[in-house]
Amino acid sequence: HECIPQYHVGHHEKLEDLEATLTENFPQLTFLGTSFYGVGIADCVANAKATADKYVRAISAQIDFVKESIFYFVTSYNAATAI
């Protein structure tokens, strides 16, 4: 019992199914931690970093969309009121 834990047979397949369900129903959530991906600290840190990067990209895309929408609205409004 003094060794690195091992996942049960089929763990990764079950996790893929759970991830698909989670992504479909709750896309803003994700699994993190050694219970799901990698049993070591390095695996946990790498997964957390990858997940944080994913969320930063998603949030950045949303912010860019909002900024573009506001710019379009202001530009349209200024053009309409300048006439």
Percent of the chain with pLDDT over 90: 24
Q: Is the pLDDT of residue 23 over 80?
A: yes
User: Contact 31/15 with Cβ under 8 angstroms?
Assistant: yes
**According to the 3-state scheme, what is the secondary structure of 40-52?**
CHHHHHHHHHHHH
Over residues 39-46, mean pLDDT? 86
What mean pLDDT value characterizes the chain? 86
Tell me the whole-structure pTM to 2 decimals.
Answer: 0.61
Position 83 scores a pLDDT of 62
Q: How far apart are CA 30 and CA 38, in angstroms?
A: 15
Position 9 scores a pLDDT of 93
